[in-house]
Amino acid sequence: MRVAVIGRTRPLLEAARRIVGAGHTLGLVWTCRAEPFYRCDEAHFQALAETVGAPFFSGLDIATPQGLERLRLAACDVAISANWLTVLRPEVLAQFPLGILNAHAGDLPRYRGNACPNWAILNGEPHVGLCIHQMAEDLDSGPVLLREHLPLTDDTFIGDVYAWLEDRIPFMFADTIDGLASGRLSPVGQPDDPAVSLRCHPRRPEDGKIDWTRPATEVHRLVRASSRPFDGAFTTLEGRERLTVWRTTLVQAPSPFLAVPGQVCRVSNAGIDVACGEGLIRLTELSLEGEPDARRASALVGASLRNRLI
């Protein structure tokens, strides 16, 4: 199978290496500007292309007449893609008889669009999906070839999901290419009914602001969905210093209580218990603006049961 690589990120790079190791041919490598947190950049993709003798291109001009001619000359059967900066146009998709395969971090057809794992955690889903699907003109609507699930529990944070994605994407891309080559895998179309899908829109750092009037279960989901590698859920200590909450657990109150949401109710070696609209949540990892020492930050937040998070 002759395969093109179009996109960015380390999982895509590792997928390409696995595909070559399985005996397939890289016919083209095309990337664009990397984000700092990708842990690989254009130079890594160029080195891969040089190692296997594939043409290498970098930039967003893939849909120009010159770009389309480069794709035509590469004569690839299929492409794998991840995190391309723009929507790949139909004329680009048409250059590959078996299409362009995308690794989508969402359980299709239910979760389409952006930040799907974060939204799945926020919605209390039992699992998050990873799908290898053929790209289509409409967002994340193409036929699915391979699917895996990661169970979500109260102890699953977004960083755990991203670690799973980074581990599984290379294997799933390589397995899909092998399956297409052997005829073991066939594309399965998604339902046309728009009612079965959620269009997930991007989340921004300010969306992590904690509303303490919400139930503890919802606050815990927000913390889990906003934690590393993202900017974290946040609040303030008495309306002053920004307090970032990285990890929490749900706890049962030892006895009935009355407290305004955001009230510090109990401090122990296990963490700081805070009142929510319903129930208690325990802060187990936090950082406080202006205080680089984590232990000192926790001590300041839990210094008084009169303290309130706003």
What is the domain partition of the chain in residue ranges? 2-199, 205-302
DSSP letters, 175-188, are HHHHHHHHT----B
Class of the CATH domain delimited by 2-199 = alpha beta
36-89 pLDDT, tens per residue? Answer: 778 899 999 999 999 999 999 999 999 999 999 999 999 999 999 998 988 899
Band (205; pLDDT cuts 50, 70, 90):
very high
Please tell me the number of Cα atoms within 13 Å of 64 on its side-chain side. 5
Q: What class is the 205-302 domain?
A: alpha beta
Report d(CA 233, CA 184) in Å as an integer. 44
- Percent of the chain residues past pLDDT 70, beyond the cut: 100
pLDDT tens digits along 145-182? 999 999 999 999 999 999 999 999 999 999 999 999 99
- The pLDDT tens digits of the residues spanning 244-283 come to 999 999 999 999 999 999 999 999 999 999 999 999 999 9
Rounded to an integer, the average pLDDT of 123-129 is 98
Looking at every residue in the chain, the average pLDDT score rounds to: 97
CA neighbours within 13 Å on the CB side: how many for 232? 16
> Which residues, 6+ apart, have CB-to-CB distance to 276 below 8 Å?
212, 213, 214, 215, 216, 219, 261
Confidence of residue 35 (pLDDT cuts 50, 70, 90): confident
Tens-place pLDDT, residues 289-300: 999 999 999 999
